[in-house]
Amino acid sequence: MHPTGNSIQNSKLKISVTCHPITPLPHHPLPKTMSKKTIHALVDELPTRNITVFTLKSLDTFLPGTWDNPVGFEHTIRTVTREKDDALIQQIGERAIQLFNDRSQGYQRALWLYQTIDSTGSALGTAALVNKVGEKVPLLGFLNRITPKPEKAQAIDLSLKLVTEVAAFCAINGIPGDSLKDFVRALGDYGGESLIRMAALVAFDGIVPLGPTFLKTVQASIEKLTPKELEDNKAFKNIQEAIPGRSTRENLEFIEKSFDSTKGWMEKFVASKGLTRQKITTNLQGFIDFSDDKADYLGAFLDMSTNYYEHTGIQTLAHRLIERAVAEI
């Protein structure tokens, strides 16, 4: 195959590079389901107003000023670098695109992870509603299409999203996928889109569906989990190849280690930010219409109608690529 030219047209700049087709390496295979979109197209196409964005913005009460939903490749470069020189921004953009397309790097694998873990939820066909800015989405109208997950299933999903975060972090940083110590150290310095993603995991996959004792619930569920039960989980099947271990039992052991390594951070985060189910749901009622006695359906609704891992994951990738491009230039 011949190289193809990719370009991005923004308000001021046209950033273009020659991109070679991605060829999987024997030691680092790329999944067949990987997105074929370029990083600049992914960042440019991120929504600015939908259920995912509103949901993440509801966390601003607990993390004021942490996340402003950076959208647009050129805008992201200017925001990350604070650079005003168009020629330098052009260079940075081109280098970031080259890095993303480099088959020896882990950026595309990280993207696949972010997208895959979100794709396991079945999105509601409510595009017309979620894009009506300023109008509440009536959750009660969807109750006949929503079934809250059992505790064990919810616990597995949270733990798999956590493992996805570990695997994506390792892929982005070019380190072995079982580098839990490196991840935990970095977690303490998380900010911006990465921190809001972890906050969403704690709030919307932990506290809302499982309550204030979600950490104990998840731990108890994982400890009792059998390899067979794990194999029956759709999300696990989708990302199993990215979880360290030569068997399902070893995969399960790594999932347990990942949770054990990060539960202390999650516990401190909840306490320091004053996260409670009541506060979280009150913020969500600003744009989702539901009654208090149906709050147990809220977790299922958010799981089905948001893709916060993919959304913020794309932003994390853009941020890291730009930072590395600047350092290399």
In 3D space, the residue among 277, 271, 274, 265 whose CA is nearest the CA of residue 302 turns out to be 277
- In whole angstroms, what is the distance from residue 31 CA to residue 235 CA? 15
Supply the pLDDT for residue 23.
33
Supply the pLDDT for residue 200.
98
* pLDDT higher than threshold 50 for residue 16: no
Coil, strand, or helix at residue 6?
Answer: strand
Q: Regarding predicted confidence, which is higher, 33 or 198?
A: 198
- In whole angstroms, what is the distance from residue 206 CA to residue 259 CA? 13
Given the structure tokens 């600047």, which residue do they identify?
Answer: 326
- Report the interhelical angle of 151-173 vs 214-224 (nearest 10°): 90
* pLDDT higher than threshold 60 for residue 291: yes
In 3D space, the residue among 303, 297, 275, 106 whose CA is nearest the CA of residue 203 turns out to be 275
Q: 271-304 as b/e, with b when 16 or more CB fall inside 10 Å? A: eebebebebbbebbbebbebeeeebebbbbbbbb
Q: What are phi and psi of 16, to 5 degrees?
A: -140, 145
- In whole angstroms, what is the distance from residue 98 CA to residue 154 CA? 38
Given the structure tokens 């390594």, which residue do they identify?
Answer: 261
Q: What are phi and psi of 155, to 5 degrees?
A: -65, -40
Q: What are phi and psi of 105, to 5 degrees?
A: -100, 170
Q: Regarding predicted confidence, which is higher, 157 or 142?
A: 157
In 3D space, the residue among 309, 305, 316, 320 whose CA is nearest the CA of residue 126 turns out to be 305
Q: Name the least confident of 34-38, 119-123, 170-174.
A: 119-123
- Going by pLDDT thresholds of 50, 70 and 90, the confidence category of residue 146 is confident
- In whole angstroms, what is the distance from residue 195 CA to residue 188 CA? 10
In 3D space, the residue among 163, 205, 209, 196 whose CA is nearest the CA of residue 273 turns out to be 196
- In whole angstroms, what is the distance from residue 209 CA to residue 213 CA? 11
Question: Which structure tokens are listed for 306?
Answer: 């948001």
**Strand ranges, E, within the chain:** 4-9, 14-19, 137-138, 288-289
List beta partners, residue 14: 9
- Going by pLDDT thresholds of 50, 70 and 90, the confidence category of residue 138 is confident
